[in-house]
Chains A and B, each alone.
Chain A
Amino acid sequence: MSLLDSLGDLGGLLLGFSLTLLVYSYVVRDNPFYRLAVHLLVGVTGGYVAVILVSEVIAPVLGTLIEAPLSQDATAWLLPLLLTLLLLLKAFPGTAWLGNGVLAVMIAIGAGVGLVGAVAGTLIPLTTSGYDGVLGLLVALLTILALAYFSFTLQGIRADGSERGWFRYVRLAGRLVITVALGGVFAGLLNSSLVLLSDRVGFFIERLNNLLTVWLP
């Protein structure tokens, strides 16, 4: 690494470090520095997303249409582009309903895809497999209890509002399963976040160490 490169690296390091400090200032309390950092994050993320969308999707499609408007590739894009134009009309109150129509198409296709996926990808596999052996039976029982905890039903409620005995115990058992499961998720999240914190700190330590190696051989 040359000295010039190291200076550029130092600039990036200082910038990143400053931004990290702005964010970490939230540990004490909400403050303007933190808000500044968050607004900057949203801005650069939005800009980056816009650039990627245009360069990866929009521009190539428009380029195809401009270069060979009558080609098969171009005509295949005509309808999606028309729908996109209609989507733009959602910005105007008088024509928003046309945009709503396009939005409805998007949502409906997504819903249809989600329906088939949920059945084939989650519901069937999670209810039919993975319950082998004694441990599997225990998992099946606890899964049912967990589902029972989430099902708000009239089945186990008396007329006076109290829960019937068996149903109360079922729900308690289900709550126990869910509580332990959420504890496991919390533990995983805590471990992940510690890794990220460690990575942030390690990043600066390593970069600074590299720079010192260049400057103080």
Chain B
Amino acid sequence: MSLVICPHCQTENPEEREHCLQCGRLLGELSPAEGLPDDNTLTDKELAAYFAAGQDQRDEDDLSASLSAGLPDWLSELEAAADESAGTADPLEGLLDELGDGLELDLPDWLQAETSRRSEAPEPEPGLDEDEPGLVVDDQPEAAPAMPTEGTQVPDWLADILDEEEAAEIFALEDDEDLPGTGTDWLKALESARVAEAARQADEVRASVDEEAEAAPAGAGDDRLEEPTPVEEAAQFDFSDETLPELHASEDEPAPADQAEEQPMTRRLHPSSELRGVPEQIAGSDLPDWLAEQLGFGQELEEPEEFEEEPPLPDWLEPIEAETADQVAAQLDPASLAQGTPDEAVEAATEMGAESAPDEAAATGGDEDWLTALADLHLADEEPSAAEESLEATMVLEESVAPDWMEALKPPELGPAAPERETAAPERETAASTGPLSGLQGVIAIEPIIAEPRGSGRGARSELAEEQRRQVALLEQLMLAEERPAPAAVERLPAGVGEWARLLIGLVLLAAVVVGWLWPDLGGLMPELRQPPVTEAAVAVNEAIQAAQGQIVLVAFDYAPGAAGEMDRVADTLLNQLAAGGSPVLTLSQSAPGVALARQAAGRMEGLQSQSLGYLPGETVGLRRLSGCLDRPADCDQLFPALADRAAVESLPDVGLIVVLTSERDQLVGWLEQVAAGQETPLVAGVTQGLSPVAAAYAGSNRLAGFINGVPGAAAYERAMLPETGRASQQLDSLTLAQWLAAALLAVGGLYYAIAGLFGGRKRAAK
């Protein structure tokens, strides 16, 4: 492939390119925008001209053509309208009005100043009220009588900055595209419409930068440098040494003047360089990618598939994904644009290739939503030129009729009988005629609302509806519930007393436990005691075990080692009964320590036929997999990969009872939801007392055949169902004293603080 050398920056370009990859200039001729001053500063005029040249370059890009080729006609018309609007109206005005009035966003100072300045202007810029496209496109030509027919007309504000010839060249390039719109996929068109709207917003912001540059007289640059205002101070570039290392080379080894003129201006920027008139939020060292590109940090456009790959999420579920004009405008807050890393700007400035700056931003952790949104805007910038040509071709969409129920939902003011708006043409109140909403009446007429010029101080402020007030009240209720301070302590204990009290209570509790083990009946002092009876749920467990006698029983050891002190008693009780009934047992665990606990428990039982299936990975997902294997063992080779004896897995459908021993709610619920819900095999559980309320809720719903709750439940089960009592009963006996002590402490503590609180309240009232 032959290469063409750019006469402006000496960059090698492919032969088929008309514009330089590096600087964006036309290959083969010098642009009037060349010839930067020798000092390393940029005047406002130069900046504006360069911005315009950057626009030129983007519009001419080949990829842009391919992007726009797929646009449907109605969208192309929208693009054309957007271009004309951008060419004839002050683009900042619409954006500022929209930001300041419609959205009531918190604008930065520099933007607020611009807003107020414009609101004081006696006459709005012509064409803005007619041509501003909304989200819903109304492309009837007669609806916009003031729309200029010449899309290449140079606006006044730009004419002030540029030479007429230069500006004419810039805008003439937009007409050179020949890209018919042939797309038919309405979903893609919807997406493209969003992108196009975002592109319009981006154009307006870029124009706002131009406007800032225009606001600063070129000749006053030196004075401004000497006595910078706060805004102007913020407008200075602050390229650090790390961000633009190549600039140092140009400083150390100054190039000849003629050579320097041919370098892209970004390469000639000095660390002390500044872009006057550009707010710091935009012109800071942390340049966002789109601005880096604007400043000539050229980069290859991204593949067209990328924006087509936007997930077509349903709006009702993903309002955030829908980058409406409001959201894009909010994301274009210059304060947020200033975020980014200096590295991104350097990469964009120094690299020309397929890897774009947004990629780098994502790689450095800068892939926030605003950045990706801007990346999309960057793509969308390429489309308008193609859309202009597609004005010729019209795609006739079938007229659709809204169903009655949708008509009934329509706000009355948008209906056919609604009174005409004072500022909008009557036809704008009727149905949309193009696009996917073609024929629908009552579409939200954003266009006339946005297009109508108005000052920031005018217009009725939104008033809170009753429902909004209630929402506020609800929010306050939630917030206050969270933040409500705790009542003041009844009395302030001296520092350290709390620790001693805790230690004292702890020691007393410990002593009660020790005494409970050494002298369970207190040497005969203990009265006749009544232990908790066996529960209905425990009786159900016994019935299930009896019914499964001789059948394989699957036992899950899903309790933590910390709960082994309680759960081992429950496990021993149930395994004893299973061993007595001659049921072979398969053990497994969802947790790694559970494998060891199962091994220990099986080792404690005499006469128990047990085999360990091992560790079941995946928790809930693993349980669902196991549930499938209980029905279809043929596909269970991947289950328990460490198990050498596959016969155990193949015997899973023969399981007659599932016993789950757990101390965790998630584990219990997982078994009930994933296994018990799809199985006829009964499932019983042994749980801690802390978990017994959860188990009881499921047992009442018959999802859980029965359960034993902790040591008291196991002890009762031993007494009622087994021939002899075991360790559970022994542990319960030792626990009695500690239980009484704990209950007494709770009661006494509660009474003390309640009474102290009453007296404290009276004392405070008396004072």
> For A191, what are the chain B residues with a Cβ–Cβ distance below 8 Å?
689-690, 710, 712, 739
Contacts of A158 in B (CB 8 A): 470, 473
Question: Which of A6-14, A83-91, A200-208 has 4 or more CB atoms under 8 Å from chain B?
Answer: A200-208
Nearest-Cβ distance from residue A188 to partner chain B, whole angstroms: 4
Q: How far is the CA of A202 from the CA of B469 in the complex (A)?
A: 61
Residue of B nearest to A123 (CB): B673
Q: Which residues of B contact A82 (CB under 8 A)?
A: none
Residues of B with C-beta under 8 A to A125: 677, 698, 701-703
Q: Compute how far the CA of A114 lies from the CA of B563 in the bound complex, rounded to whole angstroms.
A: 26
By a beta-carbon cutoff of 8 Å, the part of chain B in contact with chain A is 362-365, 466-467, 469-474, 476-478, 499, 502-503, 506, 509-510, 513-514, 516-518, 562-566, 592-593, 595-596, 614-615, 617, 620-621, 624, 637-638, 640-642, 663, 669-670, 672-674, 676-678, 688-693, 697-698, 700-703, 709-712, 731, 734-735, 738-739, 742
Within 8 A of B (CB), among A58-115: 59-61, 64, 73, 76-77, 93-94, 97, 109-110, 113-114
The answer to whether B474 and A93 have CB atoms under 8 Å apart is: no
Whether A152 contacts B474 by the Cβ 8 Å rule is yes
A160 touches B469 (CB 8 A): yes
What's the least CB distance linking A169 to chain B, in Å? 16
A188 near B674: Cβ-Cβ < 8 Å? no
Whole-angstrom CA separation of A152 from B478 in the bound complex: 8
Residues on B with beta carbons closer than 8 Å to the beta carbon of A141: none
* Highest count of chain A CB atoms <10 Å: which of B563, B669, B703: B703
User: Inside 8 A of B478's CB, which chain A residues have their CB?
Assistant: 152
A212 at the interface (CB under 8 A from B): no
Q: Does A117 contact B (CB under 8 A)?
A: yes
Q: Are B624 and A196 in contact, with the CB atoms below 8 A?
A: no
Residues of A within 8 A of B692 (CB): 188
Are A198 and B517 also in contact (CB < 8 A) when A52-B615, A121-B676, A122-B669 are? yes
Complex Cα distance, B744 from A110, in Å, reads 46
Contact A121 B620 (CB under 8 A): no
| Given A110-B620, A122-B673, A202-B734: A28 touches B592 (CB 8 Å cut-off) | no
Residue in B467, B678, B698 whose beta carbon sits within 8 Å of that of A120 in the complex: B678
Tell yes or no: A189 within 8 A of B by CB: yes
Does A38 sit within 8 A of B, measured CB to CB? no
- Taking a contact as CB atoms under 8 Å apart, the answer to whether A56 and B642 are in contact is yes
The 7 closest A-B pairs by CB, nearest first: A121-B673, A199-B565, A161-B473, A117-B673, A130-B700, A52-B592, A121-B677
| A195-B565, A198-B738 given; A129·B702 CB < 8 A | yes
- State the CA gap A194–B740 with chains docked (Å): 11
The reply to whether A28 and B701 contact each other, CB–CB distance below 8 Å, is no
Q: List which A131-184 residues lie within 8 A (CB) of chain B.
A: 139, 152-154, 157-162, 181, 184
By beta carbon, the residue of chain A nearest B694 is A185
Q: State whether A201 and B474 are in contact (beta carbons under 8 Å apart), knowing that A60-B641, A110-B620, A121-B677 are contacts in the complex.
A: no
Closest partner residue, chain A, to B505 (CB atom): A27
Say if the beta carbon of A210 comes within 8 Å of chain B: no
CA distance A191 to B663 in the complex (A): 13
Q: Complex: how many Å from CA A34 to CA B82?
A: 68
B677–A157 CB distance below 8 A:
no
Minimal beta-carbon separation of B661 from chain A (angstroms): 14
- CA A205 to CA B624, docked complex, whole Å: 43
Taking CB atoms, residues of chain B closer than 8 Å to A128 are: 701
Q: How many A-B residue pairs have CB under 8 A?
A: 192
- Ordered by A's residue number, 23 sampled pairs between the chains whose C-beta atoms are within 8 Å are A28-B502, A28-B503, A48-B593, A48-B596, A52-B595, A55-B642, A57-B641, A76-B638, A93-B364, A114-B620, A117-B620, A117-B674, A120-B677, A120-B678, A121-B703, A189-B690, A191-B712, A195-B689, A196-B566, A199-B565, A199-B566, A199-B731, A201-B510
Report the nearest B residue to A132, measured CB to CB: B700
Residue numbers in B under 8 Å from A161 (CB-CB): 469-470, 472-473, 476-477
| Interchain CB contact (< 8 A) of B710 among A28, A56, A195 | A195
Instruction: Give the complex CA separation of A192 and B735 in angstroms.
Output: 11
Residues A12-33 near B (CB distance < 8 A):
24, 27-29
**How far is A157 from B467 in the complex, measured between Cα atoms in Å?**
9
Known A-B contacts A60-B641, A184-B693; the reply to A205 vs B674 at CB < 8 A is: no
Q: How far is the CA of A120 from the CA of B677 in the complex (A)?
A: 6
CB-based contact A159/B503 at 8 Å: no
Chain A's nearest CB lies how many Å from the CB of B731? 6
- The contact of A113 among B592, B621, B710, by CB within 8 Å, is B621
Beta-carbon contact of A190 and B742 below 8 Å: yes
Residues of chain A within 8 A of B640, CB atoms compared: 56
Q: Which residues on the B side are within 8 Å of A48 (C-beta)?
A: 592-593, 596
Interchain CA distance A181-B696 in the complex, whole Å: 12
Chain A positions within 8 Å of B624 at CB level: 113, 117
Give CA–CA (A156, B367) in the complex, Å: 42
Please determine whether B637 and A73 come into contact, CB atoms closer than 8 angstroms. yes
Q: Across the interface, do B701 and A202 meet the contact criterion of CB distance under 8 Å?
A: no
For residue B676, which residue of chain A has the nearest CB?
A121
Choose among B473, B474, B615, B709 the residue that contacts A160 (Cβ–Cβ < 8 A). Answer: B473
Instruction: Compute how far the CA of A56 lies from the CA of B615 in the bound complex, rounded to whole angstroms.
Output: 6
| Neighbouring B residues of A181 by C-beta, 8 Å | 693
A36 within 8 A of B: no
- Give the CA-CA distance A76 to B564 in the complex, in Å: 37
Residue of B nearest to A76 (CB): B638
Task: Given A64-B641, A76-B637, A121-B677, check contact A192 B473 (CB 8 Å).
Answer: no
Given A94-B363, A121-B676, A188-B692, A198 and B731 contact (CB-CB distance below 8 Å): yes
Contact B516 A198 (CB under 8 A): yes
| A40 at interface by CB-CB < 8 Å | no
Closest A residue to B589 by beta carbon equals A52
Tell which of B363, B698, B734 touches A198, judged by Cβ atoms closer than 8 Å: B734
Docked complex Cα distance between A124 and B735 (Å): 39
Cβ-defined partner of A192 (8 Å) among B593, B595, B674, B710: B710
- Residues of chain B within 8 A of A77, CB atoms compared: 638
* Distance between B676 CB and nearest chain A CB, rounded to angstroms: 7
Given A113-B620, A117-B674, A199-B565, the answer on whether A154 and B641 have CB atoms closer than 8 Å is: no
Cα A121 to Cα B672 with chains together (Å): 6
Q: What residues of chain A lie closer than 8 Å to B638, measured between beta carbons? A: 76-77
> Once bound together, how far apart are the Cα atoms of A130 and B704, in whole Å?
11
A60 contacts across to B, CB distance below 8 A: 641-642
A197 contacts the other chain (CB 8 A): yes
* A residues near B739, Cβ cutoff 8 Å: 191, 194
Q: Is the CB of B641 within 8 A of A113?
A: no
Contact A129–B470 (Cβ < 8 Å): no
Docked complex Cα distance between A126 and B676 (Å): 14
Closest to A46 in B: B592
Instruction: Find the A residue at minimum CB distance from B478.
Output: A152
